[in-house]
Amino acid sequence: MSAPNRDTAPAAEAAGDTGQYLTFQLAGDTFAIGILAIKEILEYVPLTQVPLMPNFIRGVMNLRGAVVPVIDLARRFGRAATPIGRRTGIVIIEVTYEEQQLYIGVLVDAVHEVLAIPSSDIEPPPQFGGKIRADFIAGMAKVDTRFVMLLHVERALSVDEMTQLTDLQADSTLDMRLEID
């Protein structure tokens, strides 16, 4: 698998008329991420497990000498773990955290294609009310007869939020060990 070429984005995308999105399958649903956030697409490689991480952090991988965490996006969204199969892939995404560029791997069932989606075909995220989160959805794109969820990368892969969840899990593990002792 190869990464989409960032330099081939049409001039219309810069004007906001059309955006290019990488689509992928996740737990039976189709999601998309803007190609400008994507560094590369890789076939699945075995990951190194890191103890005491939240269940959505599947492990880390070596990407040309750099340690890259790999997030199971299905688990991040409260679903069952992504099963590893022949089409399983890892999408390397570039996020900004405290003015630094970080790479995060996202485990997906299968990578589909890059679609050019006109802004006129994108609806705002659904409103579910105050108790159900939809802030990670940037919009719902109409593609043929179905909707594709466009992810807001900075929110879906919020480093701050994942750090807080890791800290909470570490605290609960420590509490459980103290109760046992």
Give the model confidence (pLDDT) of 91-143 as tens digits: 999 887 778 788 899 999 999 999 999 988 988 877 765 444 566 788 899 88
Residue-level pLDDT at 160: 58
Q: What is the pTM of this model?
A: 0.73
SS3 159: helix
72 belongs to a structural domain: yes
Of the two residues 157 and 18, the one the predictor is more confident about is 18
Residues above pLDDT 70, as percent of the chain: 73
> φ, ψ for residue 122 (rounded to 5)?
-110, 120
Domain region containing 82? 6-180
Q: Which two tokens stand for residue 102?
A: 């970080």
Cα separation, 55 vs 5, whole angstroms: 32
Distances, alpha carbon 83 to alpha carbons 79, 107, 110, in Å: 12, 10, 11
1 belongs to a structural domain: no
Residue-level pLDDT at 102: 84
62 belongs to a structural domain: yes
Residue-level pLDDT at 16: 57
49: left (phi over 0), alpha (psi -120 to 50) or beta: beta
CATH number of residue 111's parent domain: 2.40.50.180
Q: Quote the number of domains for the chain.
A: 1
18 belongs to a structural domain: yes
Q: What pLDDT band is residue 72 in, cutting at 50, 70 and 90?
A: very high
Count Cα neighbours of 16 within 13 Å in the Cβ-side half-sphere: 0
94 belongs to a structural domain: yes
Cα separation, 57 vs 50, whole angstroms: 8
